[in-house]
Structure 1
Amino acid sequence: MAWVGNQTLISHFILLGLFTQSPLHFFLFSIIMVMFLVALSGNGLMILLINVNSRLHNPMYFFLSWLSLMDLMLISTIVPRMATDFLLGHGAISFTGCGLQILFFLTLLGDECFLLAFMAYDRYVAISNPLRYSVVMSRRVCWLMVTVSWLFGLVDGLIQAIFTLHFPYCGSQEVDHFFCEVPAILKLACADTSLYETMIYVCCILMLLLPFSVISASYLQILAAVLHMRSAEGRQKAFATCSSHMAVVSLFYGAAMITYMRPQAYHSSKQDKVVSAFYTMITPMLNPLIYSLRNKEVSEALRKLLRRCYFPLYPIWLP
């Protein structure tokens, strides 16, 4: 503990968590853990399939493998800590631990924002300009896009983690959340945070709306190109290619915008926890399912992998 004037500065936070110790919440906690395991196995399998199958070695699946890695890291940043706190019955977390969680979480969140934008641009080039696709989306360009995604996410995470923990915190140590999310932490600050909250609000709008504008522009161009296609089969294939990405974008950006584009005065703890659970747990679980169930190439790669591993044992079950 430290003293500033007549106020005692706290040395750690206490996360109140998502659930209380009740039979219903034990059941809900079990569902969360199943979702966590599904997300780990689904995203891990996507990364494995894309790396071992040569037919998936193209820009679209290159970006998809990075999206799966980011989802895997995002859910691993939140759920294991939350599960440990729930099982042990307390959620004490140090300033350093809280700062690292903010850094990792916001870095990965920013990464996904920009990666989804680059994935939309990739689909635009593939559909609108297929003859120059391999030139425009070269391996060097793809790696540059991934690097830019990580760089923007890291800068955003560092700025918010450093400035959030720069404020003095005194009085209550209890954070009404299941992880160190910036809006929940700032409620405990013993200083005027209005200017910083405005800065975060503007920063988050830019981090969300800039990639979202690229996504919107890309899909408007894709729609125009598809409508000009004479082949019904070509239109159907183009829509099938883009529908999975559009579903992922809708899930991710919808939840993130509700959390980070609302002014602080409109936040409530219950709503924030539900929305945060959606894009930190549910979305990472759904993403690989959306891409695998709606993608014939991924399904075929999975069948080939199963055939290679289990064909000697189960020759009748596999095509």
Structure 2
Amino acid sequence: MTSEQAAWFAQNFERLVENVEGVVLGKNHVLRLAFTTMLSGGHLLLEDAPGTGKTSLARAIAQTVDGTSSRIQFTPDLLPGDVTGMSMYDQGRGVFEFHPGPIFANVCLADEINRASPKTQSALLEVMEESRVTVDGESHRVPTPFMTIATQNPIEQAGTYRLPEAQLDRFMMKTSLGYPDAASTLRILEGVRVSAHHREIPAILGLDTLTQMIDTAKLVHTEPALRDYLARLVDATRRAPEVRLGVSIRGALALLRAAMTWAAAHGRTHVLPDDIKLLAEPVLAHRLILDPEAEFDGVTGNSVIARALLEVAPPAERAAG
């Protein structure tokens, strides 16, 4: 990546963030994580209490990109075919014809994903990994680029199902909005006449530019010492005594891709150890499966990652080149 490419990427990244900040107030860091996920070719999971703006954030991200978007409200009676689409018999032609479901969009909002049954949740596994849907033995590609933004309520709330481990592993990042600060709350109250769900924001980047940014992020330089640091960090999660299932190879690749995009978003042509440190929790913590006794004692995925970051020494300095 050249310095000119890095500057171009950073400028467009800032435009995306600023555009959505008009709707989602006081959450600059979360917006940066969201767009880092999008430009890394990943999927985003938002977990928070109801009413904190998860759906508004997902809608605003979809609107700011000039592509197709869809919304699926996950409910206990939702069927896999309601997500992926299904084949229906055309009596006039005497053949079965595939009717695409709402998943066929550039940005798909899966709202309250953990209120649907595990069978319906699993309908997303193939499309999130391979960007295609297989129905009745035939594969159908979804539009490119493709991103799933899923929202979920905390698992202890009524009417929720725990997401399967394989599905959690397909989300590049998991983050939360939290409640806005006092200043942002005041601004929200001042705009009470216009609901966030009815507020439209302009699309500022076309799909061609978005695809170009995704390809440009892949050019960011990563040194062998940084890749070794990331590998040792992942291995530390697998050896932690509280962890039953550590970070997968998919998780390690996700952290590397996210760090490359994060570096480009800051106008840099190379990844720094601080990029990996900053992104480790949102990229890795939700992938850990903890021992039940450790969970009962209050251990969390975030605490395991935080300890690994303290124990694993980063590269001392960036080598020349």
What TM-score bracket applies, with the shorter chain setting the length? under 0.3
Q: TM-score, normalised by structure 1?
A: 0.26
Return the structure number with greater helix share: 1
Q: TM-score, normalised by structure 2?
A: 0.26
Return the structure number with greater strand share: 2
- Answer with 1 or 2: which has the greater Rg: 1
